Amino acid sequence: MDRGNFGTKIGVVLATAGSAVGLGNIWRFPYMTGHDGGAAFIVVYIVCVIVLGVPGMIAEFVVGRHGAANAARAYTLAGGNKAWAVVGFIGALTSLIILGFYSVIAGWCLQYLFASIMGNINGDAVYVQEYFRKFSTSAIEPVVWTIAFIVLTHLVVVRGVRRGIEKVSNILMPTLFILLLIIVVASCTLPDAGKGINFLFKPDFSRVDHQVIFDGLGQAFFSLSLGTACLCTYASYFTRQTNLLKSSVQVAVVDTLVAVLAGLMIFPAAFSVGVNPDSGPSLIFITLPNVFQKAFTPVLGYIIGVLFYALLALAALTSTISMHEIGTSLFFEELHISRAKGAVFETVIALLIGIVCSLSCGAVDITVFGKSFLNFCDLLTSNILLPLGSFATCILVGWIAPRKVVKDEFTNWGTASVWAYQGWLFLIRFVSPLCIAVIFFHQLGII
């Protein structure tokens, strides 16, 4: 079976970075930064990326490239026992659930992009808040946009690794950076924008406490897509010449850069008009439209609004492509069917999850344990499945997989990065599992 692989080094970095860059960079990171003291949180976050993010990424790369197969088979080959396939299946299930509810939010971005182009997102905060409430609780429009986004993702993945994922990533990621930089420049030239810039780059370490450290660990973990089998699946398309350490560092740098630029896009504008960024959906669907209307002239506010929601849609698409590919590769390889049929299986299940999640936001009373179905899916994946999958990967690579296999993969068979191997092995055996356990128990409210 010809699985294909990435054709260029830049394709590897852009596609893999695209799997990590998403709404969490542009939505969650700025809010966490605002909540946890600005620049001090960014410093903590970068340390967490170095200690947890990069080592965890390399561990998934090792499993994926060694297996050169879907996640379930790759974990079986790395562990030498079919029981390890459970970790791959959990990763695929996790990504499938995330694909379903993530596409709902991505669909909202498409709706807001369309509404921004048509000039419908305007007025004061009360108007914008009511607009979001009516739209998100509708039984029709959000479902239509959710379906549209999943189908759009399907059309990319079904074309394969080089002609689909790599080719589209090579277009989407540079475009995302260009849009982001345009809005950053516009935001940083506003009156009093310097206050927002200082907030982002002048650390006050007195703000750092245990909660900031917990948040930094969590953001590093979720932002880099650890535990979803995304990285493992993409690594299965790496060639033997791909330097895993170098690639992981490049992906982490791109991901962090996008997050910091998102802060530069939001905070100078927010400080300029005296608005404090909120959390959750209200930040990008209520607060920021109001900020853009207040901060810029009507014409410029219109342009920035359109560019902003185009940026969000692109960021979401780079993530959903990787989520879709995990299940697609698993279906077509394990069921011995064509790639097209595997993609259809993944798309149909994701559509069912996405539709139910969308309806649970207010149109229909669909709850699990007292939470909307969308929030339940979010909590199930982020609080339980993701940490468990990533913890198991650390144990597998650090303690179970043959040491020669792990060393050969990390060092590209002795041709690169031999000096860093022992340090990375220590982190993946002791430090990373501890960090993941802390995240897990903190998410459950035990710590």
pLDDT tens figures, 353-363:
999 999 999 99
Whole-structure pTM value = 0.94
User: What pLDDT is recorded for position 335?
Assistant: 94
Tell me the chain's radius of gyration from C-alpha atoms.
Answer: 21
Question: Taking Cα atoms as reference points, which of 177, 107, 175, 120 lies closest to residue 293?
Answer: 120
By the 8 A CB rule, do 58 and 424 touch?
Answer: yes
**431 Rama class: left (phi>0) / alpha (psi -120 to 50) / beta:** alpha
pLDDT tens-digit readout, 362-382:
999 999 999 999 999 999 999
Share of the chain above pLDDT 90, in %: 77
Encode 127-156: b = buried (16+ Cβ within 10 Å), e = exposed. ebbebbeebbebeebbbebbbebbebbbeb
| Side chain identity, residue 203 | P
Residue 260 to residue 345: CA distance in whole angstroms: 37
| Residue boundaries of the structural domains of the chain | 9-444
CA quadruple 279, 281, 283, 284: dihedral positive or negative? positive
pLDDT at 417 over 80: no
By the 8 A CB rule, do 213 and 18 touch?
Answer: no
CA angle 246, 247, 248 (to 5 degrees): 95
* Burial label, 185 (beta-carbon count in 10 A; 0-12, 13-18, 19+): exposed
What average pLDDT does the structure give for the chain? 92
By the 8 A CB rule, do 226 and 91 touch?
Answer: no
Furthest C-alpha separation in the chain: 63
For residue 202, the tally of other CB atoms under 10 A from its CB is 10
pLDDT tens-digit readout, 20-59:
898 889 888 988 898 888 999 999 999 999 999 999 999 9
Residues 6+ apart with CB under 8 A from 395: 433
**pLDDT band at 1; cut points 50, 70, 90:** low
pLDDT tens-digit readout, 247-299:
999 999 999 999 999 999 999 998 888 877 766 677 888 888 888 888 898 89
Residues 6+ apart with CB under 8 A from 162: 4, 5, 6, 7, 11
CATH of domain 9-444: 1.10.4160
For 45, the token pair is 């976050």
